[in-house]
């Protein structure tokens, strides 16, 4: 099935995001209380993770195995990533909107973050790990990349304890919309 990619990007550009549930299928959602991962000095992580980074056990790749990252993100007891949403992500990937930011240990996918890039906004959809610290290293390396490429924002959509450890913070919908408008004025590339 072909999806209207322009309409999907327009939905994300207005601050909505796609999710699926078993009762209603695929739908658009919004939040009055958005979560951002800081791209400035507020970004932090545990000292133990710095030791892992110093060991250089992981390498980083972008889009080396997009489908495996989507599958990894969907592989949980309760998932909002339906087979239909997997297909949407695949079409977004094929048209240059969706990305997988991955960590690898040798030839084994260790973890990754699935996201959508629109202008200077990285919209994080989900993350997972197969090897301990795989997704944490991906988070640190992704923030470094977003800073380097002068992204305006890293939208994490909803707060959780994992994100909070990295300094993620909540913003009002009004503040979020202001940042999103700024981000949409910029042309950034993850690659």
Give me the DSSP letters along 109-120. EEEEEEEEEETT
Question: What pLDDT sits at residue 30?
Answer: 85
pLDDT digits (tens, 9 = 90+) for 86-142: 999 999 999 999 999 999 999 999 999 999 999 999 999 999 999 999 999 999 999
Q: Is residue 189 included in any domain, yes or no?
A: no
Number of domains in the chain: 1
Is the Cβ–Cβ distance between 74 and 84 less than 8 Å? no
Q: Is residue 88 included in any domain, yes or no?
A: yes
Residues of the chain with pLDDT under 70: none
Helix (H) or strand (E) holding 67: helix 66-74
Q: Is residue 75 included in any domain, yes or no?
A: yes
Q: Is residue 191 included in any domain, yes or no?
A: no
Provide the whole-model pTM. Answer: 0.94
Question: What pLDDT sits at residue 79?
Answer: 78
Q: Is residue 67 included in any domain, yes or no?
A: yes
**In angstroms, rounded to a whole number, what is the distance separating the alpha carbons of residues 98 and 90?**
8
Question: What pLDDT sits at residue 8?
Answer: 96
Question: What pLDDT sits at residue 33?
Answer: 80
Closest CA to 112 of 131, 93, 95: 131
């Amino acid at each position: 099935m072909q999806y209207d990619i322009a309409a999907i990007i327009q939905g994300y550009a207005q601050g909505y995001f796609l999710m699926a549930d078993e009762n209603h299928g695929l739908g658009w959602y919004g939040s009055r209380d958005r979560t951002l991962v800081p791209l400035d000095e507020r970004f932090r992580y545990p000292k133990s993770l710095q030791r892992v980074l110093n060991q250089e056990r992981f390498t980083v790749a972008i889009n080396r195995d997009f489908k495996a990252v989507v599958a990894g993100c969907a592989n949980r007891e309760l998932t909002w990533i339906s087979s239909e949403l997997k297909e949407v992500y695949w079409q977004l990937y094929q048209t240059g909107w969706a990305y997988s930011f991955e960590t690898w240990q040798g030839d084994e996918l260790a973890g990754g973050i699935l996201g959508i890039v629109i202008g200077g906004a990285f919209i994080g959809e989900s993350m997972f790990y197969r090897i301990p610290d795989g997704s944490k290293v991906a988070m640190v390396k992704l923030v470094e990349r977003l800073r380097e490429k002068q992204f305006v924002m890293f939208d994490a959509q909803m707060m959780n304890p994992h994100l909070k450890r990295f300094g993620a913070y909540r913003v009002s919908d009004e503040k979020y919309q202001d940042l999103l408008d700024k981000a949409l004025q910029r042309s950034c590339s993850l690659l």
